[in-house]
C-alpha cells in the first residue's frame, strides 16, 4: 500500500467470503458484518482478511489511494493444484482415483462455485471501474449447491464408482454460503456465465491429464532406478479446449 501511495496506483485486495463467517443472513450482502469466531481455528484467515480490509480503507481515507476490495467466493477451474485441499479438487481427484469421496458433516451444507474465467472478468471490471467504487464487492456465482449434490455431479461427470464417506464437520465450518451479487451486477455490469457442469467438465479434463502425467513420470526411470524429475504442469486450457469441454 505504501508503494500505491508513492506511485498513485490503484490497488486490489483479494478479500474473501470468509469475512462473513458462519452467516446468519442469507444470501450474504456486503452490508452484512458477519458471524466470525475470533478465537476459532479459522480465525487467523477470517479475521486476517477483515484486518486487511480495514487497512485498505484506512489508507484510502488517510492518503486518498484508489482501492478496490473484492470479496471472492469459492472459485475453481483448471490449474488448481491436485492436493490443494479445496472441495472441488478433492472430489475430482478422489473420483478419478476411485477413492472414497470425503464429505464433512452430513453433506447438506452449501457453497456457491464460480468458474475462474468468470472471476477474472469480475476482477478486471472492478479494477477498471470508477474511482468512487471502492468495494467491498462480492464476486461469486450465486448458484448454491450442497456438498452432497456436488459430489454426485462429480461422480456422474467422471464416471467414477467411488463411494461417499462422511466425516465430522470441522469447527466453525460455515453451514451456508451464497453471494448477493447485486452490487456487482449494478455497478460493474458483471455476472458469472459459466454453468457448474461446464466448469466441472473443463476442470475434470485438466485434472485427468495431470494425474496421467504424474503416472507417466513415476514410470519413467534412469539407470540404477533413480526416478526422473516430474514433467512440468500443462499450460492452462486455451479457449478452444474450454469450448470443447462445453464451456461457453
Map out the domains of the chain with their CATH numbers: 2-244 (3.40.50.720)
Sequence-distant (6+) residues with CB within 8 A of 204 are: 92, 96, 154, 157, 158
Mean pLDDT of the chain: 90
Given pLDDT bands bounded at 50, 70 and 90, which one contains residue 236? low
Sequence-distant (6+) residues with CB within 8 A of 240 are: none
Read off the pTM: 0.86
Catalytic residue (one of 20, 32, 45, 104): 45
- Can you tell me the mean pLDDT for 70-77? 98
- In this structure, what C-alpha cell is assigned to residue 83? 492436493
- Residue 238 above 70 pLDDT? no
63 has catalytic annotation: no
- In terms of Cα–Cα distance, which of 234, 208, 203 is closest to 80? 203
Name the percent of the chain lying above pLDDT 70. Answer: 88
Amino acid 214: pLDDT: 83
Amino acid at each position: 500500500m505504501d508503494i500505491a501511495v508513492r506511485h498513485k496506483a490503484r490497488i486490489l485486495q483479494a478479500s474473501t467470503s470468509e469475512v462473513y463467517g458462519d452467516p446468519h443472513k442469507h444470501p450474504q450482502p456486503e452490508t452484512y458484518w458477519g458471524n466470525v469466531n475470533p478465537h476459532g481455528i479459522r480465525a487467523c484467515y477470517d479475521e486476517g482478511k477483515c484486518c486487511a480490509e480495514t487497512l485498505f480503507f484506512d489508507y484510502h481515507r488517510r492518503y486518498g489511494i484508489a482501492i478496490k476490495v473484492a470479496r471472492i467466493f469459492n472459485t475453481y477451474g483448471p490449474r488448481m493444484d491436485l492436493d490443494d485441499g479445496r472441495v472441488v479438487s478433492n472430489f475430482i481427484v478422489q473420483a478419478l482415483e476411485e477413492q472414497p469421496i470425503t464429505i464433512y458433516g452430513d453433506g447438506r451444507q452449501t457453497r456457491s462455485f464460480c468458474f475462474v474465467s468468470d472471476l477474472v472478468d469480475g476482477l478486471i471490471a472492478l479494477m477498471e471501474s470508477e474511482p468512487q467504487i471502492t468495494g467491498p464487492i462480492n464476486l461469486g456465482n450465486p448458484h448454491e449447491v450442497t456438498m452432497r449434490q456436488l459430489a454426485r455431479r462429480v461422480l456422474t461427470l467422471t464416471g467414477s464408482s467411488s463411494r461417499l464417506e462422511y466425516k465430522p464437520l470441522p469447527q466453525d465450518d460455515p453451514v451456508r454460503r451464497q453471494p448477493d451479487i447485486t452490487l456487482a451486477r449494478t455497478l460493474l455490469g458483471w455476472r458469472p456465465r459459466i454453468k457448474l457442469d461446464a466448469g466441472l467438465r473443463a476442470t475434470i479434463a485438466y485434472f485427468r491429464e495431470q494425474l496421467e502425467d504424474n503416472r507417466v513420470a513415476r514410470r519413467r526411470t534412469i539407470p540404477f532406478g533413480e526416478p526422473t524429475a516430474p514433467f512440468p504442469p500443462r499450460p492452462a486450457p486455451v479457449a478452444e479446449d474450454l469450448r470443447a469441454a462445453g464451456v461457453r
